[in-house]
C-alpha cells in the first residue's frame, strides 16, 4: 500500500554505506547540487501547500492551523498518482512548499533538482537529533544539506489469519520453507484458499523481500555505482516466489490495497499477508468483522538467517520554489516530532514515526484490540532491529522499479521468470544512469 499510505521502521543505526552512496551521488552530476535558501520569516500571515498520501492528515493539519493562525497549511491528498502529480507540478513550476516523498524516491528527485536545501534554517539542522539516525542520513544525502525531514518507516512482518491456520491444523510458519509447505497444505485442504498473493505491480514490496535476504542492490566504490540488482541473493528470492506462482499456490491477480484484495480476504480466500507495520490499520479499517482473527508474527526467515526486511517509509521534503522556507521548517518539524501530532498520525493514518519521540507513544506499547489485544508493535520493533541498515537505493530507482514491475507482470502471466525481471531491472538501472551521465558498472 505504498502508494496510499506511508511506511515505517524503527532502525537505530546510521546507514554508513548509504551516506557514502548518497554523498557520492551528490558529486556525480552538477544537477544534484543545491544551494541553501534564505530562512527569513515572512511578514504577515502565510499559507503553505502540503501534499501527501496519508489518510486523516487533514485532521492533523487542522490541529496545527488551530494553534498557528499566522502560518496556515492547506493539504492535498495525492494518493491516486503521487509521483505523477508531483512530477507534473515540478515541470510546471507549481510544486507545493512541502510534499511526502519516499526514501527510495529521494535520490531520483534529487537528480531533478526537486528540493531546496533548508540548512540555512537553524531549526532544520537542529532537528537531526530528533530522528532515528539512518532516516536522517537518507533525507540529508549524507549530511550534504537538509532536503527533507523523516516521517515514518516500514519494518516487515507476517499477518496471519490464525483461525484459518488452526482450522486446518497448520502451524504458523517461521521460515520460508515452512511457509511454502503451509501454502501447499492450505490449498490442498481448500482449493479456493491461497496462503497469500503476489502483486507483480508492486516493486517496493518485492524490494523489501530482497532487502530481507541481504540483497545489496547498490553500493558505491571506485567513484561509481556498483549495480547488483540481479545478485545471487535476489535470485534466491525470485526463484522462491516463481515456484509458488508456478504451483498456483499464491494469487497474482490482486493489487495491494485494492477493493479486490479486501474482498478476497473478506471471503476467507487468503490466509496471510506479508506486509509492513503501516499495514496494521489497513485490515482494522477495511475488515472490521475480522477483529480478533488476525495475529502478527515475525517475517519468515531464510533458514537460520534471522534478518528482516523494510517496505517503504517516507519523508516530508522541502520542495523547489517554496517562498516560505522558515515557516515550512516550523510546520515540518512540528508535524514529524511533536508527540500530539505523531499520536494523531499513528491513530488515523497508521504511521509508525521516524522521530525518537514517536517511539515512546503510549499507543505503541499497548495491546491493539483488533489484533486480539496483542502488542503487535513489539513485533515490528523486533523486526526493525534485524534489518540490514547498509541497504541503499540507487539514483534512478523510479525507472528501475517501473522496469521491474513491467517484467514481473509478464512473468506472472507466464512470459519469462521473476529472475528475468531482475536482470531486466539491472539493465534498466545501468542504462538510466548512463543516460544521466552517472558513473555506474555491473557489480559482482
Q: What is the pLDDT of residue 15?
A: 32
Mean pLDDT computed over 71-97? 95
Name the least confident of 25-29, 255-259, 283-287, 301-305.
25-29
Rounded to two decimals, what is the model's pTM?
0.80
What was the pLDDT predicted at 161?
98
Q: Is the pLDDT of residue 444 over 80?
A: no
pLDDT bin (cut points 50, 70, 90) of residue 321 is: confident
Give the CA radius of gyration of the chain: 21
Average pLDDT of span 219-239? 93
Three cell numbers, residue 365: 506499547
Residue 100's nearest CA partner among 56, 150, 58 is: 150
Exposed/middle/buried for 272, CB within 10 Å: 0-12, 13-18, 19+?
buried
Q: Transcribe 100-142 into DSSP letters.
A: EEEGGGHHHHHTTT-B-B-TTSHHHHHGGGGB-HHHHHHHTTT
CB-based contacts of 425: which residues, under 8 Å, 6+ apart?
Answer: 229, 230, 400, 401, 403, 404, 407
SS3 148: strand
Higher pLDDT residue, 40 or 34?
40
Cα distance between residue 86 and residue 210, in whole Å: 28
More confident residue, 263 or 138: 263
pLDDT at 31: 37
**Main-chain dihedrals φ then ψ at residue 421, nearest 5 degrees:** -65, -40
Could you read off the pLDDT of 266-287 as tens digits, one per residue? 999 999 999 999 899 899 999 9
Report the Cα 51 to chain-centroid distance in Å: 17
Which three three-digit cell numbers place residue 223?
Answer: 567513484
24 or 52, which is more confident = 52
Share of the chain above pLDDT 90, in %: 71
Q: Please state, in angstroms and as integers, the Cα–Cα distance from residue 175 to each residue in 252, 302, 373, 437, following that order.
A: 22, 6, 25, 42
Least confident of 245-259, 282-296, 381-395: 381-395
pLDDT value for 38: 84
Mean pLDDT of 387-409: 90
Residue 234 confidence (pLDDT): 97
Residue 424 pLDDT: 98
CA dihedral of 318, 127, 337, 151, whole degrees rounded to 10: 50
Amino acid at each position: 500500500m505504498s502508494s496510499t499510505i506511508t511506511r515505517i521502521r524503527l532502525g537505530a543505526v546510521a546507514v554508513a554505506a548509504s551516506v557514502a552512496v548518497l554523498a557520492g551521488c551528490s558529486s556525480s552530476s552538477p544537477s544534484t547540487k543545491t544551494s541553501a535558501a534564505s530562512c527569513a520569516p515572512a511578514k504577515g500571515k502565510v499559507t503553505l501547500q502540503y501534499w501527501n498520501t496519508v489518510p486523516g492528515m487533514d485532521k492533523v493539519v487542522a490541529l496545527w492551523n488551530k494553534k498557528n493562525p499566522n502560518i496556515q497549511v492547506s493539504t492535498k491528498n495525492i494518493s491516486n498518482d503521487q509521483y505523477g502529480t508531483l512530477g507534473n507540478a515540478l515541470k510546471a513550476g507549481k510544486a507545493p512548499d512541502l510534499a511526502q516523498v519516499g526514501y527510495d524516491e529521494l535520490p531520483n528527485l534529487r537528480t531533478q533538482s526537486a528540493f531546496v536545501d533548508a540548512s540555512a534554517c537553524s531549526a532544520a539542522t537542529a532537528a537531526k537529533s530528533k530522528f532515528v539516525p539512518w532516516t536522517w542520513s537518507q533525507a540529508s544525502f549524507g549530511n550534504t544539506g537538509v532536503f527533507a525531514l523523516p516521517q515514518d518507516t516500514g519494518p516487515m512482518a507476517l499477518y496471519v489469519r490464525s483461525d484459518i491456520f488452526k482450522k486446518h491444523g497448520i502451524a504458523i510458519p517461521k521460515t520460508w520453507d515452512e511457509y511454502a509447505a503451509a501454502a501447499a497444505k492450505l490449498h490442498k485442504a481448500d482449493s479456493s484458499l491461497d496462503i497469500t498473493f503476489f502483486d507483480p505491480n508492486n516493486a517496493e514490496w518485492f524490494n523489501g523481500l530482497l532487502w530481507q535476504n541481504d540483497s545489496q542492490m547498490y553500493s558505491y566504490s571506485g567513484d561509481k555505482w556498483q549495480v547488483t540488482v540481479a545478485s545471487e541473493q535476489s535470485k534466491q528470492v525470485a526463484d522462491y516466489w516463481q515456484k509458488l506462482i508456478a504451483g498456483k499456490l499464491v494469487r497474482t491477480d490482486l493489487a495491494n490495497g485494492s477493493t479486490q484484495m479486501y474482498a478476497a480476504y473478506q471471503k476467507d480466500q487468503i490466509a496471510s499477508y506479508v506486509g509492513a507495520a503501516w499495514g496494521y490499520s489497513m485490515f482494522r479499517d477495511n475488515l472490521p468483522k475480522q477483529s480478533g482473527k488476525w495475529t502478527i508474527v515475525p517475517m519468515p526467515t531464510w533458514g537460520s538467517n534471522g534478518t528482516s526486511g523494510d517496505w517503504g517509509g517516507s519523508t516530508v521534503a522541502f520542495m523547489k520554489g517554496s517562498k516560505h522556507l522558515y515557516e515550512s521548517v516550523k510546520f515540518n518539524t512540528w508535524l514529524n516530532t511533536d508527540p500530539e501530532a505523531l499520536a494523531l498520525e499513528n491513530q488515523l493514518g497508521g504511521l509508525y514515526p521516524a522521530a525518537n519521540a514517536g517511539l515512546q507513544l503510549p499507543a505503541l506499547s499497548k495491546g491493539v484490540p483488533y489484533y486480539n489485544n496483542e502488542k503487535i508493535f513489539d513485533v515490528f520493533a523486533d523486526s526493525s532491529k534485524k534489518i540490514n541498515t547498509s541497504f541503499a537505493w540507487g539514483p534512478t530507482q523510479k525507472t528501475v522499479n517501473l522496469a521491474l514491475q513491467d517484467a514481473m507482470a509478464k512473468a506472472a502471466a507466464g512470459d519469462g521468470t521473476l529472475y528475468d525481471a531482475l536482470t531486466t531491472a539491472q539493465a534498466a538501472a545501468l542504462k538510466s544512469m548512463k543516460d544521466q551521465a552517472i558513473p555506474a558498472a555491473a557489480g559482482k
